[in-house]
Structure 1
Amino acid sequence: MALIRVERQSRLSVEEAWRRLTDWQRHAAHAPLTTIIVTTPPPTGPGTRFVARTGAGCFGFDDPMEVVRWEPPSGGRPGHCTLAKRGSVITGWAEIEVRLHARGSQVVWLEDLRVAKLPRLFDTPTAWSGRLFFGRAVAGLLSEQARDVI
């Protein structure tokens, strides 16, 4: 599995950063050729499921995910969310942590993913490209304007 770690600081409050990062459908705006459909009713919590569909036309794949840990930030306590990837193409998990930082908030996105039928020798390039992809996605989710991300 490829381990990916992305850290970003933002001027946003912890609560606003959390809201943006856990608005699942909003992620599609930062992932090329991807749509996201939440398949369970709101509000988000353990058991919430959604599918990221990446591709064009008949060429593509689904990345179904389920929220298995949901602890929004509260009373100065950081927020934690864990997603389990339940697909046949992409498996693994992702963890999102949002905590107070001197200038706003700090986000740590940790993801461990495996691409089906891809030999382990590709773990290093997968992790490298994943850091680029998720780094851009997190920065985009946190920023409607460039000044929001430090």
Structure 2
Amino acid sequence: MADTESESAGRRVHDFASDGHMSLTIMTFNLHRERTTDGPNSWEHRKDICANIIKKFSPLLVCTQEGLKSQLDDIACLLPGYEQFGVSRKGPNEPNDEHCAIFYSREKVEKMDGGTFWLSESPSVPASSSWSTDVPAIATW
């Protein structure tokens, strides 16, 4: 039996098929932080390509790595049907550093919870790092 849809508070809600399965499309992109030395591979040349690939596959979720705030803002403008969340690896008070943001389709899913933790011995401490790492590392969920 195919996936069925119903309307709930103006949102499209997907029901599981009779066998309990549902197909999800999730994409991941390493945005490669914007650098002036990237020449033809600069973000200015890549942002439309990135947005067009996302539009083509229309995923429920897009998970990003190495995205600077300016890059995430570009994606948000190019994909108005998506909402994003996540903080920079230096924490919410340092928004211009790299993020591992998650974009989700507002039409297809509703965010119920989410957050960011640091891959360190102090996972709830912004900008924390351990184990001789050069920079803080994060995971957004």
TM-score for both structures, normalised by structure 1:
0.26
The higher-RCO structure (CA 8 Å, 6+ apart) is 1
Bigger helix fraction: 1
TM-score for both structures, normalised by structure 2:
0.27
Which has the greater radius of gyration? 2
Bigger strand fraction: 1
